[in-house]
Amino acid sequence: MKITDIIAHTVTVPLEAPLRHSNGVHWGRFVRTVVEVHTDEGIVGWGEMGGGGESAQLAFQGLKPYLVGHDPFELEQLRFKICNPTASLYNNRTQLLAAIEFACLDIMGKKLGVPVHRLLGGKLRDRVPFASYLFFRYPNERTGEGEVRTVEQLVEHTRQLKERYGFTTHKLKGGVFDPAYELECYRALAAAFPHDRLRFDPNAAYSVEQSIAFARAIEDLNNDYLEDPTWGLNGMRRVREKTRLPLATNTVVVNFEQLAQNILQPAVDVILLDTTFWGGIRPCLKAAAVCETFQYSVAVHSSGELGIQLATMLHLGAVVPNMPFAIDAHYHQLADDILAGGKMPYENGSMAVPDGPGLGIEVDRDKLAYYEEEFARLGGYPYDRDPHRPDWFPLIPNDRWADPRRVR
């Protein structure tokens, strides 16, 4: 079997409301570049990049000379064709590799008539548990609904998600407001849902000293872990030395060299594996095996996925043994998806692992075309800017906090 063509589509899919984070805002929609890989046997595989845009589409076109004629089963050869380590110093293609790897695994599963998790060693669980992913949110520009800014709004929003989807673990994305206010919000969640698990992630916006103070102030709560309170392996190590809480990361351990450094000089306890950041499902599985060897736990990270990447997260979550935590997903924040039949369903805070051939998903080409047209109409947006604070940008560590008294 040989690859005959690679076609990239950039889509923009609406969110329920704009999502605020430490670097800016998701402006009421996600922008993702989706890739379809065609073969000489008529099998088409689907992949999805973390983020995307016009430049990503051009980058995928630039891979055609590398990949047309390549056997999609030859994934190690593919890795070195696209991401040779020394060549990547000049042109990092990790995200491109991830999308192509997803598509090749999809092709392999369809060719063999088996789901991807069978190609990865077989599933250990039929369903994967999810955490609610809580954001401070601006109101929806069209409806005026969906705002999450006050303590009361946050607790009510969490209650609605719990009732609708069955979540029993809740992750709050912070780094937007002053740490004292976010601590108030987090403790309010703990009081409102005393039997549920919690985790907090300010996206490395806090100083080491602020991180230590925040960690000590929540040690009495039902925490899974504290995720990326500060920047850098050494910063995280200093925090870890001063708290009883496990620390987790998806920012300072995102490749094998950083993983090795963390094992030699521990700075974090839980490695959050992202199938796009690491270059595919298989690198995540390799990293999980290293973690298992040294008794580290892992979980699955979310980078703003549509259904294609979500399927890769489910297959990864199904096969990794050392994953004692619910995984993250932005998915419930989406108003729609490009999958046939609409969004994948939650049940009791979990999702079924797809058992169909390949990734086990089908793309709705009408929706794909519609949201591709929407991207052509609306264009992209800067992830690291807030449209309601046009002159603002954050520092690391940050001290330019938003005012929780202001709607915008």
Distance CA(172)–CA(327), nearest Å, equals 13
pLDDT at 249: 98
Whole-number pLDDT of residue 85: 86
* CA-based nearest residue to 23, from 407, 383, 390, 400: 383
- Range 88-116 average pLDDT: 94
**What proportion of the chain, given as a percentage, has pLDDT over 70?**
100
Q: Where are the alpha helices (DSSP H) in 208-306?
A: 208-218, 233-240, 256-264, 281-293
**Residue 214 has what pLDDT?**
98
Catalytic residues: 173, 301
**Domains identified in the chain and CATH numbers:** 3-115+364-378 (3.30.390.10), 118-352 (3.20.20.120)
87 band by pLDDT with thresholds 50, 70 and 90: confident
The partner residues of 30 in beta bridges, in order of sequence, read 13
pLDDT tens-digit series, residues 130-170: 999 999 999 999 999 999 999 999 999 999 999 999 999 99
> Residue 28: is its pLDDT beyond 90?
yes
pLDDT of residue 121: 97
pLDDT digits (tens, 9 = 90+) for 209-242: 999 999 999 999 999 999 999 999 999 999 999 9
**95-121: average pLDDT:** 98
- Average of per-residue pLDDT across 42-60: 95
Contact between residue 63 and residue 6 where contact means Cβ atoms under 8 Å apart: yes
Residues 164-208 have pLDDT tens digits of: 999 999 999 999 999 999 999 999 999 999 999 999 999 999 999
Task: Count the helices and strands in the chain (H runs, E runs).
Answer: 13, 14
Q: Give me the pLDDT at residue 258, please.
A: 98
pLDDT exceeds cutoff 90 at 247: yes
Question: What's the mean per-residue pLDDT of the chain?
Answer: 97
0.95 surpassed by pTM: yes
Contacts (Cβ under 8 Å, ≥6 apart) of 197: 131, 168, 169, 170, 222, 223, 224, 326
Q: What is the pLDDT of residue 228?
A: 98
In this predicted structure, the answer to whether residue 407 has a pLDDT above a threshold of 90 is no
Closest CA to 94 of 34, 61, 50, 62: 50
Q: What is the mean pLDDT of residues 274-302?
A: 98
- Residue 262 pLDDT class (50, 70, 90 cuts): very high
pLDDT at 408 over 80: no
